[in-house]
Amino acid sequence: MERRADTVLEQSEELKKLSGYFPKDRRLYAVGGCVRDALRGKPCYDIDLAGTSTPEQLIELLKNSEFKVCEASPRLGTMIIKGKYAYEYTTFRTDSYPSGSGIHTPTSVQFTEDIQADARRRDFKCNAVYYDIADDKIVDPLGGIADIEKSVLSTVVEPDTTLGQDGLRIMRMARFVSTLGYSVEERTLDSAKRLVSGLKDITVERIREELDKLLAGDNCYDALRLMNEIGALKIILPEVALNDNIPQKIEFHKYDVLEHTFKVVENCPPHVRLAGLFHDVGKGVCYKESGNTYLHNLVGAKITEEVLTRLKYPKKAIERTSRLVHEHMFDVNGNAREVKYRRFIAKNLDILDDLIALFKADCIGTGYLQDSRTVEKIGEVYRKMLNEKVALSISQLDINGKDLAELGFAGKEIGEALDRLWDLSLRGSVKNDKQSLIAIAKRMKKNTDRKKDK
């Protein structure tokens, strides 16, 4: 494995210049994921720095330079160095945690000049490899390069110590499985199973951040299975974990609900994977209550909203994901009439691409199907609507409330008439041009007035 890192660090020239301000007895190192990824031949632009200089010494070293130093968390020895790029710098340190607490932030820290001691306070050996920028050499205090070469995750010290100190490291472990494609060393895996309850001490914001990163990885399927195996899924997403071993009709599904869910997530594009994770979340509840999964999409949409609210997702993400879950069962057999498709397309135009992606992944996740008749039909009908220049929203109608008012419509009649005209346009029953719409509106007005006279 290549022992140099500068050739794949985008900021190498700036880092060399920065390191020149550090004396030989206080080297500047890149550390963590940037070095790990560089050694794997992957470019990395998010670079963490470390060294023996304290925050006060760092400020003094760079006070007359082109670099600016900003406080981040001086108590933890963490500062931000800003040049063309921004770097997080942390003084070598040792951390102390309350025994068995699982909390994420150390209660006390002590600065050190011992690189081995700094390495032992990190999480996994693959993340405890240092790059001496000035001398352009790799420093590997704990054998992290061997783990990188084997694509394996093992902890920097005894697994019970590392994972017991910080419960979030269990989520990070699963995330690295997803994003790096690494496996977990057996002792580390056993420890994670024993200490998984430490996740209960982690804030929902950090859980959400790690979940999002996990879902973005190429190996998210393996990571989700790992989360279920060690019991983490039951803690952070009990509503999803409830679907483990929930059976499905074998003629339609090769897997139980949870395995199917993981398969769907794997086959969704990254930005749709959250919806993939929740798309069948209502099945477990429905099955336990009634012995079937009828209307699980409606139940699931409500559960999705509740869970994502608990995890403090942005409101727009909650609404969008819940809608995808709600709509994912649309005409699964592809037998609905065209007019129903037209209304569905218009109603969901803003999420239509994501719905199609979810439909496709749902088919693949059955273990039997590769293609969706629903997706084919949506494409056919949508192209037809575009060729017909159908109004895909009321605002696209070539007639407006003012036009209707001039025809004698008033009050709520205007809104009702626009709704009716839009529905006729969607159906293809009237062309979306002003003359045709006004002709229909006039007939509607006559019928309304006739009913009033009776």
Do residues 45 and 91 share a domain? yes
Would 117 be classed as within a structural domain?
Answer: yes
- Say what the pTM is: 0.90
Do residues 127 and 68 share a domain? yes
Would 252 be classed as within a structural domain?
Answer: no
Contact 208, 169 (CB under 8 A): no
Residue 37's CB: how many other CB atoms inside 10 A? 21
CATH code, domain with 83: 3.30.460.10
Do residues 14 and 122 share a domain? yes
Do residues 288 and 405 share a domain? no
- Pairing mode, if any, of strands 78-82 and 28-31? unpaired
Q: Taking the CA atoms of the chain, what radius of gyration do you get in angstroms?
A: 29
Residue tagged 């399927």 (tokens): 221
pLDDT at 107: 73
pLDDT at 32: 94
Would 28 be classed as within a structural domain?
Answer: yes
Look up the domain containing 305 and give its range.
268-375
pLDDT at 2: 46
Do residues 429 and 341 share a domain? no
What domain count does the chain have?
A: 3
Would 21 be classed as within a structural domain?
Answer: yes
Do residues 273 and 353 share a domain? yes
pLDDT at 8: 43
Contact 195, 163 (CB under 8 A): yes
Would 207 be classed as within a structural domain?
Answer: no
pLDDT along the chain (454 residues), means of 10: 50 90 95 93 87 96 96 90 95 76 67 96 97 94 97 97 94 98 98 96 96 98 98 98 95 95 98 98 96 95 98 98 98 90 96 97 91 91 93 93 93 93 91 93 86 67
Q: Identify the domain boundary among 322, 342, 375.
A: 375
**Element housing 51 (H / E):** strand 48-51
Do residues 29 and 112 share a domain? yes
Through-space distance between the first and last CA atoms of the chain, rounded to whole angstroms: 90
Do residues 334 and 420 share a domain? no
- Rounded Cα gap, residues 310 and 322, in angstroms: 14
Residue tagged 């929930």 (tokens): 246
Contact 359, 399 (CB under 8 A): no
